[in-house]
Amino acid sequence: VISCPPLKIDKGSFVEMLQRSAGEWPADAGDRSMVVGRGTIEVQRVRERREAPRRPEENATRSAAPLDRSGFLSQWEERSRRYEVAQHKPLFVSPTALKERDTALPERFEQKLPSVGETDPLLIGTLAHGFLEELDFSTRPETFEEELASYVKRQPDRLLGPDPAGILQELRQIFQIFFRSSVFAELASATILGREIPLLIPSGGQVMEGVIDLLYERDGSLYIADYKTDRTVPEDWARVSGPYRRQGEIYSLAVRQSLQREIKAFKLIFLRAGKAIELEIDAPQGELFLL
């Protein structure tokens, strides 16, 4: 559609070039087809008055039905509500963060700030995970102390702090129990499929991120394991299953959709006790984003 005033056509404009190509256009010419080069243009002339539209009559304005803005207002109220929720909702969330949020008060089995003379539990947990990540589970239990000492020695001084000997001693106490446990014997006989596996999954408008400590296969079944260095007693173990069950569901969802295989169980391995709790979980349905 080309529109232009009839009295003035700018030189060099598209309409002016079109007019030159089509030749003279009689003022009284009506609708018609005209040949331009190898093509044909259908022309329909529309005449309109060059006047500004007049205001409607006062009576007509008053008789117009009032606009219903309720739907529009409610839509924007809902948008504002969702915006406020999104503003206070972090983009990334982790299973650990969800566990802490769902737990109203700290439980006895949760790690706390160290007392005077104690090592930092977070540091001990980090070092224990790092050691297990690179450990060959076929290692004989009697040789682990040499490997543990070599591992700690490779860590930067800023990480170990002023008491590396104390840290090594606590790690040694943890793994002395673990290496002589039936849990370690099970891992030594299993096929290790992955360690410290990062994952990202969409979850409720957020991105769920986490790290699976251990994925292994034994007797044809898949297991997910999560290491814990908490100071626990057997009386606490039953209560542990609740807060960590959601973590197991998320991890199982990622593994299930990545490998297209079912998960036999999610296990919490308490290194200090050399014991494991096996949680039977049903992975929720969802869409895998990345693993």
Instruction: Give the Cα-Cα-Cα angle 87, 91, 93 (nearest 5 degrees).
Output: 125
Quote the pLDDT of residue 200: 79
Look up residue 110 and give its DSSP letter: S
> Structure tokens of 89?
């909702």
Write down the H helix ranges in the chain. 14-22, 58-63, 70-87, 95-102, 121-134, 144-153, 157-160, 164-178, 182-188, 234-259
Rounded to whole angstroms, how far apart are CA atoms 131 and 151?
Answer: 7
Rounded to whole angstroms, how far apart are CA atoms 134 and 148?
Answer: 11
Give the pLDDT mean for 187-199: 92
Q: What percent of the chain has pLDDT over 70?
A: 67
Give the pLDDT mean for 168-189: 92
pLDDT, one tens digit per residue, over 95-150 is 665 555 444 333 333 334 344 345 688 899 999 999 999 888 887 777 888 899 99
pLDDT, one tens digit per residue, over 61-107 is 555 567 777 887 888 888 888 777 766 666 666 666 555 544 433 33
Helix or strand holding residue 279 (H, E)? strand 275-279
Quote the pLDDT of residue 248: 87
Quote the pLDDT of residue 128: 93
